[in-house]
């Protein structure tokens, strides 16, 4: 690099080029923000017509190919033509085509009429055929997607290489944004829109036009999914979704019990899962002896549709088994809603009412532009017919003028002068064929003047009338209901109708839990606990690190070396004897490699606090209830990881603890000095001040002797040397014990 080319505000490193001396925020703004905005505006988030750019480009290409009325063509042909508008490659375009097709069953109202294998949305492994084998055309509902698109109803823009025009939006005649599901992940935001039944969403729109305060629940019962299933109706949850555009919906599978074969047949599943994931999870639970009632599970899906068969062992109770399957698998799952939509190139999260009002504003604009287009056409046509009517008064004179004119260029001016015509009228008359210069033709054409006058008066009035435009929209919505409306695919199960299905009754009895350093756990019934701890069978070099009493109906919380917490029902553990090595927790809980449990406790109500002690001398008192906020089996950030964890304990009331450092500094303090934290990974409060190179080594609940000699009333404190006012009081470190890691 030349000296003149180097900006001395930058740093030049030999062999590495110039490292720009710019703030990171500026680099992100100039380099990353344009990409982020491109993904948000041009890829992932749908607009008010219900389409993402990739959908719109594909469907418009098919429309221009004549596939709205013509025969099917090879998908490969459509993919190739679409690349004129969408340069992202044939694979991405074909995947979009597959999702829009009827055969894939991803959409409640598919836009592509398909022939061939397009896979299934509910199957992970059922792959679609290559584009050269499948055929497509636009489905009939696309009549209402492209209606009047050639009448200036929407704006058009140049494609990526300025060789052709494409619509910015499509003039959909129904609220497609809510009639079909739409999922997208952008940069820093996402969109997840569930689908609603076409009849319900159209009727709701009609009622909103008539009454802006219409109660949505009267006409819009609940979402509707292409895969069917049972929607668990929760009024409060739906209210939240309808008002804010955010929330979740619970969906269950649809199943029946074949008494003759002792078999459960599942025919519909939630849209958020697949056949394979359900079958794999059931098999996994069977191998771990969690579903002992099942003898076999099979995927029997064929051309007739989805079907999962679960064979039961003799004496099994199907309802109880299904109750457990709902909890253990995705046969009951949740669809999370996030109605994030681009409105005027601005992402907004809107409720149902706001979305429909935005769509109505868009649709009114389309209708008005169409009326203006029609008005201009009729006025132009009327102008020509008025000129033709003037010729009717003296056809012979018109013929004589044309024959007498020597120059072709003077025909139109001569007609204009003699009949008082404007240039458009004269040009129209001059182009009439000789065969049409009969009175019948001219009278027939001039009769249209009255028709056009009436239409022009009505159109002019409609353009300025909000009510008339709304009537046009309502008429079209009623037509769509009649032509394409269908019954719901997803049934509604009222929440009050759901009785907690009986699960396998859990026997409750007293047990003792033993946890070892190597990660083995034993659950031993108290009545079988006759021998002492010395008679335990353990892995070579292993030892008991923690034990406690509980009952079989409690929940176990397991803390691990990498600050994760696992939830495990005590009843899920097998009853063992002292002479058995135990069950390996990392395998049961599917822990990561080299992850081991370090502490366990049992709870039924998540009361009390967790005490965490760290090597830097800090202690954290965290409410145990903060670990109950989710039903997930595994959570991260169970405790702070800035400093090594030294000690964990669960307390119901405040306790005195003894803390001792590596350099034999000691103090006793009460946990009432610590502020309770809700945040699980709180860094805590400094309790022991540590000198250079020193660190907290051991913690235990304090005994009376330690309380008398080493108690502090405030924190943080440096601590005392292991003596009491000149009198030596040695405490062997190994006697501190406790739940130290």
* Residues near 462 by beta carbon (within 8 Å), at least 6 away in sequence: 371, 468, 469, 472
Per-residue pLDDT for 554 more than 80? yes
pLDDT of residue 20: 60
Instruction: Indicate the burial class of 17 (C-beta count within 10 angstroms; 0-12, 13-18, 19 or more).
Output: exposed
Q: What percent of the residues of the chain are helix, what percent strand, and what percent coil, each to the nearest 5? A: 35, 25, 40
Cis peptide before 101 (omega within 30 of 0): no
Stated length of the chain:
741
| Backbone angles phi and psi of 528, in degrees to 5 | -95, -5
Strands 308-312 and 340-343: unpaired
In angstroms, the CA 137 to CA 435 distance is 42
Q: What's the pLDDT tens digit per position in 236-293? A: 899 999 999 999 999 999 999 998 899 999 999 999 999 999 999 999 888 877 888 8
pLDDT of residue 26: 80
In angstroms, the CA 610 to CA 379 distance is 81
Mean pLDDT of 351-356: 97
DSSP per residue, 476-501:
HHHHHHHHH----SSEEEEGGG---P
- Percentage of the chain beyond pLDDT 90 is 53
Per-residue pLDDT for 143 more than 70? yes
- The Cα diameter of the chain in Å comes to 140
Mean pLDDT of 49-68: 96
Q: What's the pLDDT tens digit per position in 515-543? A: 888 889 988 888 877 655 557 788 888 88
- Beta strand extents in 653-731 (DSSP E only): 656-661, 665-670, 676-677, 685-686, 696-701, 720-721, 723-724, 727-728
Task: Count CB neighbours of 649 within 10 A.
Answer: 20
592 DSSP 8-state letter: P
Q: Using alpha carbons, select from 739, 641, 630 the residue that is nearest to residue 682.
A: 641
pTM (whole model) above 0.75? no
pLDDT of residue 307: 95
pLDDT of residue 17: 57
pLDDT of residue 723: 60
pLDDT of residue 216: 96
- Beta strand extents in 117-162 (DSSP E only): 135-138, 156-158
More confident site: 41 or 696: 696
Respond yes or no: is residue 133 known to be catalytic. yes
Q: What's the pLDDT tens digit per position in 724-740? A: 433 333 333 333 344 66
Q: What's the pLDDT tens digit per position in 473-483? A: 999 999 999 99
| Chain mean position to CA 618 | 40
In angstroms, the CA 280 to CA 273 distance is 12
pLDDT of residue 13: 47
Q: What's the pLDDT tens digit per position in 296-353? A: 999 999 888 999 999 999 888 888 899 889 988 999 999 999 999 999 889 999 999 9
pLDDT of residue 733: 37
Q: What's the pLDDT tens digit per position in 11-34? A: 544 555 555 667 878 877 787 888
* Residues near 149 by beta carbon (within 8 Å), at least 6 away in sequence: 63, 167, 170, 171
CB 234 within 8 A of CB 328: no
Q: What's the pLDDT tens digit per position in 210-234? A: 999 999 999 999 999 999 999 998 8
In angstroms, the CA 504 to CA 675 distance is 42
Q: What's the pLDDT tens digit per position in 632-685? A: 678 888 898 889 999 999 999 999 999 999 988 999 999 999 988 878 888 889
Per-residue pLDDT for 366 more than 50? yes
Banded model confidence at residue 579, pLDDT cuts 50, 70, 90: confident
- 140-154 per-residue burial string, b: 16 or more CB within 10 A, e: under 16: ebbebbbbbbebebb
CA angle centred on 488, ends 484 and 494, rounded to 5°: 155
pLDDT of residue 589: 84
Q: Using alpha carbons, select from 136, 67, 125 the residue that is nearest to residue 98.
A: 136
User: What's the chain's average pLDDT?
Assistant: 87
pLDDT of residue 295: 93
3-state DSSP call for residue 712? coil
CA distances to 228, 232, 344, 640, 740 from 252, rounded to whole Å, are 9, 7, 37, 38, 45
Q: Of 35, 133, 377, 509, which one is the catalytic site residue?
A: 133
End-to-end CA distance of the chain: 57
Q: What's the pLDDT tens digit per position in 144-165? A: 999 999 999 999 999 999 999 9
626 DSSP 8-state letter: G
Q: Dihedral of the CA atoms 285, 290, 291, 297 (nearest 10)?
A: 10
CB 65 within 8 A of CB 73: yes
Out of 179-183, 314-318, 446-450, 493-497, which region has the weakest mean confidence (pLDDT)? 493-497
pLDDT of residue 531: 54
Out of 211-220, 496-505, 538-547, 597-606, which region has the weakest mean confidence (pLDDT)? 496-505
* Residues near 381 by beta carbon (within 8 Å), at least 6 away in sequence: 448, 452
- Beta strand extents in 245-363 (DSSP E only): 246-252, 254-258, 263-268, 294-299, 308-312, 332-338, 340-343, 346-349
Banded model confidence at residue 692, pLDDT cuts 50, 70, 90: confident
Domains in the chain with CATH codes: 3-31 (no CATH), 45-172 (3.90.199.10), 254-330 (3.30.1360.40), 364-484 (1.10.268.10), 510-735 (2.120.10.90)
- 194-204 per-residue burial string, b: 16 or more CB within 10 A, e: under 16: bbbbbbbbbbb
């Amino acid at each position: 690099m030349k000296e003149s080319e180097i900006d001395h505000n930058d740093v030049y490193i030999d062999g590495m080029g110039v490292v720009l001396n710019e703030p990171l925020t500026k680099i992100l703004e100039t380099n990353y923000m344009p990409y982020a905005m491109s993904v948000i505006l041009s890829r992932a988030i749908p607009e008010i017509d219900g389409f993402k750019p990739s959908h719109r480009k594909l469907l418009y290409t098919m429309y221009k190919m004549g596939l709205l009325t013509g025969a099917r063509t090879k998908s490969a042909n459509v993919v190739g033509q679409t690349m004129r508008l969408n340069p992202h490659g044939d694979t991405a375009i074909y995947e979009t085509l597959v999702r829009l097709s009827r055969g894939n069953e991803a959409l409640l109202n598919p836009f592509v009429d398909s022939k061939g294998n397009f896979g299934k949305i509910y199957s992970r492994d059922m792959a679609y055929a290559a584009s050269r084998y499948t055929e497509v055309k636009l489905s009939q509902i696309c009549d209402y997607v492209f209606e009047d698109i050639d009448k200036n109803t929407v704006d058009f823009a140049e494609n990526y290489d300025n060789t052709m025009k494409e619509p910015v939006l499509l003039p959909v005649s129904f609220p497609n944004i809510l009639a079909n599901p739409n999922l997208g992940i952008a940069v820093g935001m996402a969109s997840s829109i569930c689908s609603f039944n076409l009849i319900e969403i159209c009727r709701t729109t009609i009622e909103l036009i008539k009454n802006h305060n219409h109660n949505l629940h009267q006409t819009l019962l609940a979402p509707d999914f292409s895969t069917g299933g049972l929607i668990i109706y929760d009024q409060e949850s739906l209210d939240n979704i309808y008002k804010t555009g955010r929330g979740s919906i619970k969906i269950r599978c649809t199943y029946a019990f074949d008494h003759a074969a002792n078999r459960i047949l599942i025919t519909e599943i939630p849209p958020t899962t697949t056949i394979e994931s359900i079958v794999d999870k059931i098999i996994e639970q069977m191998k771990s002896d969690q579903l002992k009632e099942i003898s076999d599970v099979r995927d029997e899906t064929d051309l007739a549709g989805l079907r999962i068969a679960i064979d039961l062992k003799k004496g099994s109770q199907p309802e109880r088994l299904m109750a457990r399957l709902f909890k253990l698998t995705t046969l009951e799952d949740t669809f999370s809603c996030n109605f994030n939509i681009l409105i005027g190139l601005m992402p907004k999260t809107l409720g149902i009412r706001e979305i429909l009002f935005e769509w109505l504003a868009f649709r009114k604009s389309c209708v008005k532009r169409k009326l203006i287009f029609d008005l201009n056409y009729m006025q132009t046509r009327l102008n020509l017919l008025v000129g033709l009517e003037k010729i009717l008064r003296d056809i012979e004179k018109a013929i004589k003028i044309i024959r007498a004119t020597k120059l072709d260029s003077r025909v139109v001016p001569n007609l204009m002068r003699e009949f008082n015509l404007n240039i458009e009228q004269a040009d129209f008359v001059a182009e009439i064929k000789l065969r049409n210069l009969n009175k019948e033709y001219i009278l027939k054409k001039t009769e249209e003047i009255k028709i056009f006058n009436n239409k022009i008066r009505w159109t002019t009035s409609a353009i300025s009338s909000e009510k008339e435009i709304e009537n046009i929209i309502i008429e079209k919505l009623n037509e769509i209901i009649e032509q394409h409306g269908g019954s719901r695919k997803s049934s509604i199960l009222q929440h009050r109708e759901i009785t907690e299905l009986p699960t396998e009754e859990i026997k409750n009895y007293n047990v003792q839990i033993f946890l070892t350093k190597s990660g083995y756990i034993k659950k031993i019934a108290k009545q079988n606990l006759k021998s002492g701890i010395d008679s335990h069978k353990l892995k070579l070099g292993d030892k008991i690190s923690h034990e406690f009493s509980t009952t079989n109906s409690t929940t176990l919380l397991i803390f691990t070396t990498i600050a994760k917490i696992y939830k495990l029902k005590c009843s899920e553990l097998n009853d063992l004897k002292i002479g058995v090595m135990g069950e390996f927790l990392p395998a049961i809980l599917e822990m990561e490699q080299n992850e081991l449990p370090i502490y366990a406790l049992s709870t039924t109500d998540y009361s009390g606090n967790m005490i965490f002690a760290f090597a830097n001398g800090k202690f954290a008192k965290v409410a145990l209830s903060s670990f109950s906020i989710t039903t997930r089996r595994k959570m991260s950030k169970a405790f702070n990881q800035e400093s090594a964890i030294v000690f964990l304990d669960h307390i119901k009331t405040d306790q005195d603890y003894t803390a001792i450092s590596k350099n034999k500094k000691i103090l006793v303090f009460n946990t009432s000095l610590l502020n309770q934290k809700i945040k699980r990974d709180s860094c805590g409060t400094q309790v022991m001040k540590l000198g250079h190179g020193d660190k907290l080594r051991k913690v235990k609940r304090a005994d009376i002797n330690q309380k008398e000699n080493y108690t502090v009333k405030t924190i943080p404190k440096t601590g005392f040397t292991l003596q009491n006012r000149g009198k030596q009081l040695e405490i062997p470190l190994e006697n501190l014990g406790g739940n130290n890691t």
